């Protein structure tokens, strides 16, 4: 594996000639940190944002165009620079910098930085992927989703940054939230732990740029970005809650303008502010296709999905349209692409970065208070019988049946769906729609800060949730474990013999110094789609 070093000393600038300090009257040139992403065997995306003068505030659309130097080196002091270049940026790109640093060696740790007018950025660490023909002994990924600024501190990012053993972080969506203060904040009473900027629901390009900028001032997120490359996709909150190809139930055209204009603004800001190749390139504004595949030798590949841009409008449980073959969650081209990836991959493990749950889950009828809490995550309505959450693959059964049927027909093994969105943690077996036997595994990470079931119910201790978890498992025998209450992150350990997910829970999302503990560990053996509990985590 190799792994990356602990993110200590990230402010070391190297040779004194590049470490000219800013005067107290100047802005922090690199106030939003550095980041890397989408590692290939010979390239990685590098990112930063510069503030060359005080008027260059995020979203302001003002300030000069400037030339920013980037450097990649094998050593901390940048005496062995292996790649470098100059990128011009300005108001058109919101003074962000994205570059595809190529010509690198596979499975290698590198240091990188940016320089503007004699001032150097913090030093970041990144790592390239193994060559397609290599067989690494192991890989290790952080797995995260659902980081709501107003609902708590991002201490999970700090704990991941301090590990020093990750090849990458897989972010499954809801990297940021679009809401105004007082909306979808901490707990049942909607208390704002910290306030969003701007202090309104974001709609315009300027708004989305400011919100991205705010999130990248978080010190724990900056530390993790600087310590390890990210592999990201978006879910709904990067644009608007509940979005689909033609709108969102949180978007009001009469007051918020045309839906397509809002999507273009959100995707443009995301492209500018995230270390990701969109439409196959790191060049900002080159497209909006974010689904893509990355390979890590013969051990694993990773298909990252977009389950919002192409989906049909959501329907309610019980609506026969759920099974309509014309309805889609992935869109025809993406579904065919994913099916082909899984069926033709030469890798032992076929990982899928899957923003919403794929396993069929029926939510049992519960008392009204529990139903109301569940409706925020994994169920939708008051009912007397079990019903699915139609915001997930549950609401698009034709797409799911086509995908799973292809896996079964082609005898695909080693498929593991890595999922976010529902703010709760799950280990499930994905059953065949024909026979019911497990044909894939699904491992769902808990939310970093976004409210979960007990937060909406306002209950402590976990007595009610334990009862509810048991009811879910009784209704869904393929759900082997579920946790409805804890916040945190997960770490995925991959070897030729198996895949193991360790879930970590933070002590209190209101505490910027929160501690972390291992919550549970579940594994999938090579050649099997069954998940089994593991007593000892391998990634603690």
User: Domain spans of the chain?
Assistant: 1-128, 129-533
**What pLDDT, on a 0 to 100 scale, did the predictor assign at position 241?**
96
Alpha-carbon torsion angle 174, 180, 184, 185, nearest 10: 100
Please give the average per-residue pLDDT across 207-214, as a whole number: 98
Q: What is the pLDDT of residues 157-182, one digit of tens each?
A: 999 999 999 999 999 999 999 999 99
Please give the Cα distance from 511 to 506 (Å, whole number): 9
Helix (H, G, I), strand (E, B) or coil at 227: helix
Peptide bond into 146 cis (omega under 30): no
Residues in a beta bridge with 332: none
CA 119 to chain centre: 31
Q: Side-chain half-sphere of 355: how many Cα atoms within 13 Å?
A: 26
Tokens matching residue 15: 């040779």
Exposure letters 87-103 (e unless 16+ CB within 10 A, then b): bebbeebbbbbbbebee
| Superfamily of domain 1-128 in the CATH hierarchy | Purple acid phosphatase-like, N-terminal (2.60.40.380)
Tokens matching residue 31: 């106030």
- In this model, does residue 389 exceed pLDDT 90? no
Confidence band (pLDDT; 50, 70, 90) for 297?
very high
Please give the Cα distance from 223 to 217 (Å, whole number): 10
CATH for 129-533? Answer: 3.60.21.70
Q: What is the pLDDT of residues 445-490, one digit of tens each?
A: 999 999 998 888 876 667 788 888 999 999 999 999 999 999 999 9
Contact present, 513 and 507 (Cβ < 8 Å)? no
- In this model, does residue 15 exceed pLDDT 90? no
Confidence band (pLDDT; 50, 70, 90) for 539?
low
DSSP letters, 453-478, are HHHHHT--SSHHHHHHHHHHHHH-TT
Q: What is the pLDDT of residues 23-43, one digit of tens each?
A: 334 569 999 999 999 999 999
Tokens matching residue 368: 């009204």
User: How many other CB atoms are found less than 10 A from the CB of residue 127?
Assistant: 24
**What pLDDT, on a 0 to 100 scale, did the predictor assign at position 4?**
54
Please give the average per-residue pLDDT across 221-232, as a whole number: 98
Tokens matching residue 298: 């013969």
Please give the Cα distance from 231 to 225 (Å, whole number): 11
User: How many other CB atoms are found less than 10 A from the CB of residue 512?
Assistant: 16
Please give the Cα distance from 421 to 446 (Å, whole number): 8
pTM beyond 0.75: the answer is yes
Please give the Cα distance from 505 to 521 (Å, whole number): 12
């Amino acid at each position: 594996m190799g792994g990356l070093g602990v993110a200590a000393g990230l402010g070391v600038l190297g040779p004194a000639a590049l470490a000219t300090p800013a005067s107290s009257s100047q802005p922090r040139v690199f106030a939003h940190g550095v980041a890397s992403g989408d590692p290939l065997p010979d390239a990685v995306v590098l990112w930063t944002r510069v503030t060359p003068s005080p008027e260059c505030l995020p979203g302001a659309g003002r300030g000069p165009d400037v030339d920013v130097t980037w450097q990649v080196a094998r050593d901390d002091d940048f005496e062995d620079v292996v790649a470098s270049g100059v990128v011009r940026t300005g108001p058109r790109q919101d003074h962000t910098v994205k570059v595809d640093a190529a010509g690198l060696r596979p499975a290698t740790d590198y240091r990188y930085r940016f320089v503007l007018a004699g001032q150097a950025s913090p030093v970041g660490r990144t790592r390239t992927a193994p060559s397609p023909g290599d067989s690494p002994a192991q890989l290790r990924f952080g797995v995260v989703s659902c980081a709501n600024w107003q609902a708590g501190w991002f201490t999970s990012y700090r704990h991941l940054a301090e590990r020093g053993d990750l090849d990458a972080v897989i972010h499954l969506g809801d990297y940021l939230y679009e809401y105004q203060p007082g909306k979808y904040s901490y707990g049942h009473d909607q208390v704002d732990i910290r306030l969003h900027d701007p202090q309104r629901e974001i709609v315009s390009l300027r708004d989305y740029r400011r919100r991205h900028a705010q999130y990248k001032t978080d010190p724990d997120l900056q530390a993790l970005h600087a310590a390890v490359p990210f592999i990201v996709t978006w879910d709904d909150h990067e644009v608007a809650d509940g979005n689909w190809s033609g709108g969102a139930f949180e978007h009001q055209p009469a007051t918020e303008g045309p839906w397509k204009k809002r999507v273009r603004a959100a995707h443009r800001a995301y492209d500018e502010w995230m270390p990701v190749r969109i439409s196959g390139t790191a060049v900002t504004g080159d497209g909006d296709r974010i689904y893509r595949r990355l390979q890590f030798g013969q051990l694993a590949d990773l298909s990252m999905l977009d389950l919002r841009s192409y989906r049909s409008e959501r329907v309610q449980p019980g609506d026969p349209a759920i099974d309509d073959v014309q309805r889609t969650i992935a869109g025809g081209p993406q579904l065919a692409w994913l099916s082909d990836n899984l069926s033709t991959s030469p890798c032992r493990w076929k990982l899928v970065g899957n923003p919403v749950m794929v396993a069929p889950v029926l939510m049992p009828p519960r008392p009204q208070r529990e139903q109301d809490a569940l409706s925020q995550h994994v169920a939708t309505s008051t009912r007397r019988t079990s019903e699915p959450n139609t915001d997930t693959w549950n609401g698009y059964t034709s797409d799911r049946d086509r995908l799973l049927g292809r896996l079964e027909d082609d005898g695909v093994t080693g498929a593991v769906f890595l999922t976010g969105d529902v703010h709760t943690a799950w280990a499930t077996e994905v059953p065949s729609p024909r026979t019911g036997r497990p044909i894939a595994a699904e491992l769902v990470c808990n939310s970093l800060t976004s409210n979960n079931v007990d937060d909406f119910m306002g209950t402590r201790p976990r007595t009610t949730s334990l009862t509810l978890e048991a009811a879910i498992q009784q209704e869904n025998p393929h759900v082997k474990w579920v946790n409805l209450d804890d916040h945190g992150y997960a770490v995925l350990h991959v070897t030729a013999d198996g895949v193991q997910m360790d879930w970590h829970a933070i002590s209190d999302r209101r505490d910027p110094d929160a501690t972390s503990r291992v919550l549970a560990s579940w594994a999938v053996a090579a050649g099997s789609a069954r998940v089994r509990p593991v007593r000892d985590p391998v990634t603690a």
